[in-house]
Chain A
Amino acid sequence: MRSLNPACKFLSLLAVTMILASIRDPFWNLSAFAISMLLILASGVKPKTLLLLLVPVFLAAIGMFFTGYRFTAESAMPVRPDAFLIAGNSHIMNGITQLSRVLAYAGIGYLFALTTDRIIMVRSFQKQLHLPQVFAYGLLAAWGIFPHMALEYRRTKAAFRARGIKVFPISPSLLAPLLVKSVRWSEELSIAMESKGFSAKAERTDAMPIQIHKRDVAFTVLCCLILPATAILTH
């Protein structure tokens, strides 16, 4: 998965997501989730990392299960607490369908995110999807700022604490300095990029041209044609 062209991978997985959205069958959703997990693990992602990442997904999936379980088409409204445990097959099926959708979408999302190098992704999007270079490299530069943002957040919080002032995690007085700093950082960063010759309009050479190989075409065909055809035929 890591060696696939990111633009092809992105379009293929997007197509799979769209197809799954049109099929209301938990088998296909759960299969997509299971295949995604296997491919992620086969790409060298540590099982512990993956499990940690899946914790919020499982929570959301359980939430969606109960939502689907309770709010089927034939459910009475308004919802009564005493009716909550009355369950038929359709309730459970609806719950599993909702749950499996969360798992499928999250699995596919993680499959892309965890098996794609961000630099190669931006280069590929720029070359194959014609993403404007000012947007592509701006995105990469902004990415570099995120770790600083987390540290600055803790620094600002510590500054308030040192003065005996209690602040809530997202209080405006805490976020205002961060906002000021992020504007200042982006200005400094854009000046630094310009001083290194970066321009939105100028022609650039490419140190690592990202090509489309046979395996990329095969993966795209598999995702965009074979999988949907099988799903439609067996549905």
Chain B
Amino acid sequence: MGMILLDRLRFSYSEGLKPVLDGLSCSFDSSGITVLTGASGCGKSTLLYIAAGLYPENAGSLLEGRVLLEGRDLSELAPPERCRLAGMMFQNPELQFCMDTVRNELLFCMENIAVPKEEMEERLHHALSFCGIEELEQRTLLSLSGGEKQKAALACLVAIDPKWLLLDEPFANIDDDSARAIASAIGRLHREKGVGVLAVDHRLDNWIGIADSICVMEDGKILEERLDASHLEAERLESRGIIAPGGSYSPSLEPLEAGETVLELEELTVRRGHQLILNGISASFRRGMIYAIIGESGAGKSTLFGTLSGIFPYEGKAILEGRNMKHLRRSDIGRIGFITQNPQDQFVGGTVREEILASLRREAEAESKSEEILRSIKLWRYRDVSPYLLSQGQQRRLGTAALIAYDCHCLICDEPTYAQDRRNTMAIMDSLCRQAREKRIALIFSTHDRQLARDYADMILGIKEGKLYEIPESSL
């Protein structure tokens, strides 16, 4: 039985900063699938990167302790040997490929570990069929959806055939169906080939029936008690900031008081290249209402939002408060705000305070208002720091606050709770929805979390085959 042993780990990203892991000792054995969960920023991903031997070589410094995988010290091994012991799957499917097509990427992986040429074809086809993506062999990686990219990443790992699979939020960016398909392939890999699996995930629902135990991490330490994945108690998980499978977010929203229509789409059609993504969408959105848009990866949610923010050209009409969005006046700009999946995409200021001031620049007493906002989101102490240096959770809070500070009437949020734990998810959604009700903003958000849509939205819309349609809550 193989084992990952972490012994008295002290790890810090920078000198003078508090160590992310401080004296952490634990072990994982390959007899079961272990999911490591916990609040955002508690050090889960850091632990995984250290276990894979990628840290401290690529970031931070290991102040003390050692990591043994299958009894070997990874820091002493070269990448080809290391990846035969531990293969890693990353959160962001966009940035884990080097070649152009799925086939070439798989060949690249096998060449790295010096697989003989005669064995490559057989291994390649086995990996593709294991992940059920034989039809993607010749496809370019750029043309794949998020779910397909994660399946291709898993196929790379199957081709490398490591002793351990280390997964960093592998389902954060993909829809539930793709997530379940990948989780079940990982389960088969463990059962059939005895591959040890250690996964970091905020959401446990995709692991039900697949994982054996759940480890909870808090402030750089792993709690001794391991939870049995087949008997998860919602209260226990929620008290630790973890999203319990099927658990409600129980938001306390003010009653709905729908106002006039703020955004209207008429026969909106979007093509990307030769592909028709949105096909004649018509919908209207009213002030004060909260709309959730759900759909599979690649269905067109981000394309719809990108189109409304002016990134993609479109046919048809998008009318904002009676004015065609193609001909908005300068004074109308900002009436529609966008919160992007990655908060870094929306930063315009050099410092945290400038980020807020950019939204308030037309207002009197902008300085004092910016202080008030930054104090309310607990970022006042970082006011002179670059927004890029904040943690992901802090960046998201700043991005949301900066846009809400602007006088927008319609706020569009592309997966605002992406890769967030339960506490942060609720904090972000509560804040957005409260502001939507108070300021009578039409809030439109996309999510893969159906429970989140059910709990927070007044209306749930689905995108499928280029069409936008209303989904009754009961059918979710």
Contacts and interface: CB of A to CB of B under 8 A. Distances in A.
A158 B347 CA distance: 11
B111 A207 contact: yes
A204 interface: yes
B78 interface: yes
A202 B112 contact: yes
B114 A158 contact: no
Given A181-B344, A202-B79, A144 B141 contact: yes
Interface stretch (A23-31, A67-75, A149-157): A149-157
Contacts of A215: none
Contacts of B78: 199, 201-202
Interface string A137-151: 100110110011001
B345 interface: yes
A216 to B, nearest CB: 21
Contact of B95 (A155, A158, A192, A208): A192
Interface string B238-260: 00000000000000000000000
Nearest to A153: B311
Contacts, number: 156
Interface string B357-368: 011001000000
B334 interface: yes
A196 B83 contact: yes
B117 interface: yes
Contact of A194 (B54, B107, B333): B54
Interface stretch (B14-22, B335-343, B421-429, B461-469): B335-343
Interface residues of A, number: 50
A206 B348 contact: no
A164 interface: yes
Given A119-B100, A155-B340, A188-B90, A196 B109 contact: yes
Contact of B98 (A141, A151, A164): A141
A161 B87 contact: no
B116 A205 contact: yes
Q: Which of A141, A197, A207 has the most CB of B within 10 A?
A: A197
Contacts of B88: 192, 195
Q: Which of B94, B348, B359 has the most CB of A within 10 A?
A: B348
Contacts of A156: 345
Interface in A136-188: 137, 140-141, 143-144, 147-148, 151-152, 154-156, 158-165, 173, 176-177, 180-181, 185, 187-188
Nearest to A118: B100
B313 to A, nearest CB: 11
Contacts of A152: 345
A188 B49 CA distance: 12
Most buried by B among A148, A163, A190: A163
A162 B78 CA distance: 47
Contacts of B96: 188-189, 192
Interface string B134-145: 000000011000
A187 B58 contact: yes
B108 interface: yes
A34 B396 CA distance: 56
Interface string B453-476: 000000000000000000000000
8 contacts: A119-B100, A137-B108, A144-B100, A162-B336, A188-B92, A197-B80, A197-B113, A207-B117
Given A162-B338, A196-B156, 17 more contacts: A140-B100, A152-B345, A158-B338, A162-B346, A163-B334, A163-B358, A164-B406, A165-B348, A180-B344, A180-B388, A185-B95, A189-B95, A190-B58, A196-B83, A197-B160, A199-B112, A204-B112
Interface of A: 118-119, 137, 140-141, 143-144, 147-148, 151-152, 154-156, 158-165, 173, 176-177, 180-181, 185, 187-199, 201-209
